[in-house]
Amino acid sequence: MPSYITPQREMRFVANELLNLPEHYASLPGCEETTDDIIEAVIDAASTFSEEVIAPLNQVGDQQGCRLEGDTVITPDGFKEAYKEYVDGGWPSLANDPDWGGQGLPDSLSIIVNESVGTANWSWSMYPLLSHGCTKTIETHGTDEQKQIYLPHLVNGNWTGTMCLTESHCGTDLGLLRTKATPQDDGSYEIKGTKIFISSGEHDMAENIVHIVLARLPDAPAGTKGISLFIVPKFLPDSDGNVADRNQVSCGSLEHKMGIHGNATCVMNFDGAKGFLIGEPNKGLSCMFTFMNSARLGTAMQGVAHAEWAFQNSLAYAKDRLQMRSLTGPKAPDQPADPIIVHPEVRKLLLTQKAFVEGNRALAYFTAMQVDISKHTTDEAAREHAEGLLAFLTPICKGFFTEVGFEAANHGLQVFGGHGFIAEWGMEQNVRDSRISLLYEGTTQIQALDLIGRKVLMTQGESLKRFTKIIHLFCKEHAGDKAMKPFVEPLAALNKEWGDLTMKIGMKAMKNKDDVGAASVDYLMYAGYVAVAFMWAKMAKAAQDHLANSDSERAFYEAKITTANFYYQRILPRTLSLKETMLSGADNLMDLDAEHFSF
């Protein structure tokens, strides 16, 4: 049976030694009280909850799934009770505004908790985690009355939230949506339409569900310029903000899915439901991006979660499973065969998982720090810089983490050999559960277009320069450090090449815009490999500094340097082929006429 242990030592290394979160918090108004002790206490408590309460429910959720009884979705055994314990522990309020009952802790601390909870049981974690985006959307764009009604309940976790975008005929192209919103005399709107793929759209874990819904007003212009955003609760609140009458919104069916069986993915019917406008009419898409950006960073953590789960379980198996002898002679002569961890190709699978999960975790926490700065700083220049970095890094994190997270999940199954294909070991579930992360909140292809198109080329490369300047200064600072040479020299070269490649693609696009689309995913993956290389260089430096001053935990810090070397020598060279493919142009993709695609 699979197991999960929160990687507390790894989390503390990134939080305290690599990124120095205590100093970061001390510099931000409202975060000063988030001291080392608070960080330690939160990580420890989240670990206990994750390991003891929800990790044991991971396979239960996969095996039982959800079921629709009448107009209610029944979640797997133990899910409802675990959610009550989560709410009673105050976890939903962790990083929310104290004005609405939140604890006011930084978002970067919250993302550490989300990693622990999500790795333990991703299907379960989706129920509370989607509420964060709903809360931020209402907090940012709602009226004072809407905030008073909804935020206290969402913050304390008694109510959960969803986002309802997709319809059967349109996915990412929301300009095609057909759901209608008709104004009513009382200032509300009648919402009619059907949404699909709605995660946590109906369940029995909370007393109310607040749907954030995109719909069109009767006089709305066509396309994305005619989309408005609405709050549509499952139960309408009374004048005191308590649940009252059932609204005309219901789950029509549950999707039959490849994975994440423990989470209810619903077809939601809005049959004349009462809704309430958020923000300005026809400005709903820009408001929705408040929710989407939060969800995309959350989904990025799914890539970290499935890689961590795969690594932990396949590492334990590789140390125990006996098969064949080492090519350099027996390593366990008292056993009939050696453990498979002695074989180089098994080591490659394990080190690839380790390199991805630790490198991606570091970049995720760094990105979350930008959320802290944008939310709390009083320095406008610092806020603008952080918001620019956040916008640039979000599609990289979402797209890259989920792609390599799925790769790591597959490596985990591979280490188990035939046993990986058997359900009881949990590895095939991890592969199935991880696969959705490449699709929702925008596929990798959509993230790639957003990165190279909107975030890089449309800003004339300014967003890219914000990040590459940070890398440049790091490389410049350590250029004379002999121990850092294996990292600084290739990183500096790739950092410069990144800008050169961007310019070349931009020039090609002036002749053929399809060249941008043709290069986009390769560009995103290249960006991810380089960004994580920067994190590994920083981790190597932190490990070197520790070993120069202390002999404690030598094995831990030496492993950091060894894994950094592995990443630079075995993973980072993938950028060589990506460079060639992204510059090869669109012709090799577009020259074959559509009618000539045949079988």
Distance (Å, whole) CA 250 – CA 233: 11
Could you confirm whether 428 is annotated as catalytic? no
Q: How far apart are CA 355 and CA 341, in angstroms?
A: 16
Q: Is the pLDDT of residue 272 over 90?
A: yes
Q: Residue 313: pLDDT above 90?
A: yes
Q: Is the pLDDT of residue 289 over 80?
A: no
For residue 447, the tally of other CB atoms under 10 A from its CB is 28
Query: Residue 537: is its pLDDT beyond 90?
Result: yes
Region 104-115: mean pLDDT is 96
* Region class of 78: left (phi > 0), else alpha (psi between -120 and 50), else beta: left
Exposure b/e, 176-212, CB count within 10 A at least 16 = b: ebebbbeeeeeebbbbbbbbbbbbbbbbebbebbbbb
pTM, two decimals, is 0.97
Which is the catalytic residue, given 40, 441, 477, 489? 441
382-419: per-residue pLDDT in tens? 999 999 999 999 999 999 999 999 999 999 999 999 99
pLDDT band per the 50, 70, 90 thresholds, residue 547: very high
Residue 566 sits at the vertex; the CA angle it makes with 434 and 308, to the nearest 5 degrees, is 25
d(CA 375, CA 377): 6
Rounded CA separation 534/231 (Å): 41
For residue 190, name the pLDDT band (cuts at 50, 70, 90). very high
Give the other-Cβ count within 10 Å of 341's Cβ: 18
pLDDT value at 172 more than 80: no
